[in-house]
């Protein structure tokens, strides 16, 4: 039997990158998948089709995870479609990298709301259903930047550090309800978002990695799968940092 047979997962920001890798891997392990995206409708459709080809149900929602009312609509639709939500993966994220002196208020607000407030929204709404089920798994995709900081990413590091604090606190609040909440804090992963970083800068960063290479999205998905499965039933409130920084 696969690890997630009979389970339903909701993943934010899963039309591409890490989120897509998580969606496909969880589908391989038997889960039905619902996910959100903002603008990449073509990529979202491709992801839905890829999941269905694995014999699993799939549904995509174009929704802005920053807004609580939109979150309510998505979660209610997933419950109507699948009857339950066993796994929540908070993966939605953007970057607006600039040195602090050049960072605008909008740069700050966009990243904090997309990367951190979205996790608050989905944890708040989904946890109600998990409490009723007396079981659930929440996996937050943070970043090593939230642990050690990173030049030019004041907003991103603050959001991911906040996600780590959210993880540890929500884990304590729901431990008695058999809901485990954990986070992954990867370093640089080979995704479209990371490809936006200056090539010379990436060369410098590569020399810092003990393994001298970036992680692949599938390697991060393996960690999410572990936290979403029964293998982690006795683990909550933990942050697994990336090993490549």
CA distance 202 to 225: 28
Asked if 32 and 7 count as a contact pair (C-beta separation under 8 A), the reply is yes
Residue 234 annotated as catalytic: no
Residue 149, φ and ψ in degrees, nearest 5:
80, 165
Token output for 77: 């639709």
- Rg, Å, the chain Cα set: 17
Alpha-carbon gap, residue 186 to 21, rounded angstroms: 14
Phi, psi of 73 (to 5 degrees): -65, -45
The active-site residue out of 156, 174, 188, 234 is 156
Tokens (6 digits) for 240: 């697994």
Name the DSSP letter for residue 86: -
**Which of the residues are catalytic?**
156
């Amino acid at each position: 039997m696969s690890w997630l047979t009979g389970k339903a997962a909701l993943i934010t920001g899963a039309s591409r990158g890490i989120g897509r890798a998580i969606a496909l891997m969880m589908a391989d392990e038997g889960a039905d998948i619902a996910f959100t995206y903002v603008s990449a409708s073509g990529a979202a459709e491709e992801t839905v089709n890829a999941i269905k080809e694995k014999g699993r149900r799939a549904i995509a929602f174009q929704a802005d995870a920053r807004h609580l009312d939109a979150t309510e609509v998505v979660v209610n639709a997933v419950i109507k479609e699948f009857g339950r939500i066993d796994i929540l993966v908070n993966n939605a994220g953007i970057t607006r990298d600039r040195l602090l002196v050049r960072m605008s208020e909008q740069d700050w607000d966009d990243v904090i709301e997309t990367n951190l407030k979205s996790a608050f929204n989905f944890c708040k709404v989904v946890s109600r259903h998990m409490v009723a089920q007396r079981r659930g798994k929440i996996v937050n995709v943070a970043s090593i930047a939230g642990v050690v900081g990173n030049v030019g990413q004041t907003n991103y590091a603050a959001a991911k550090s906040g996600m780590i604090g959210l993880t540890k606190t929500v884990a304590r609040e729901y431990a008695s309800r058999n809901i485990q909440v954990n986070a992954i804090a990867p370093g640089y992963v080979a995704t479209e978002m990371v490809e936006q970083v200056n090539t010379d800068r990436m060369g410098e960063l590569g020399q810092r990695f003990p393994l001298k290479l970036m992680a692949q999205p599938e390697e991060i998905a393996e960690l999410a799968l572990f936290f979403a499965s029964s293998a982690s039933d006795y683990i909550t409130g933990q942050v697994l940092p990336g090993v490549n920084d």
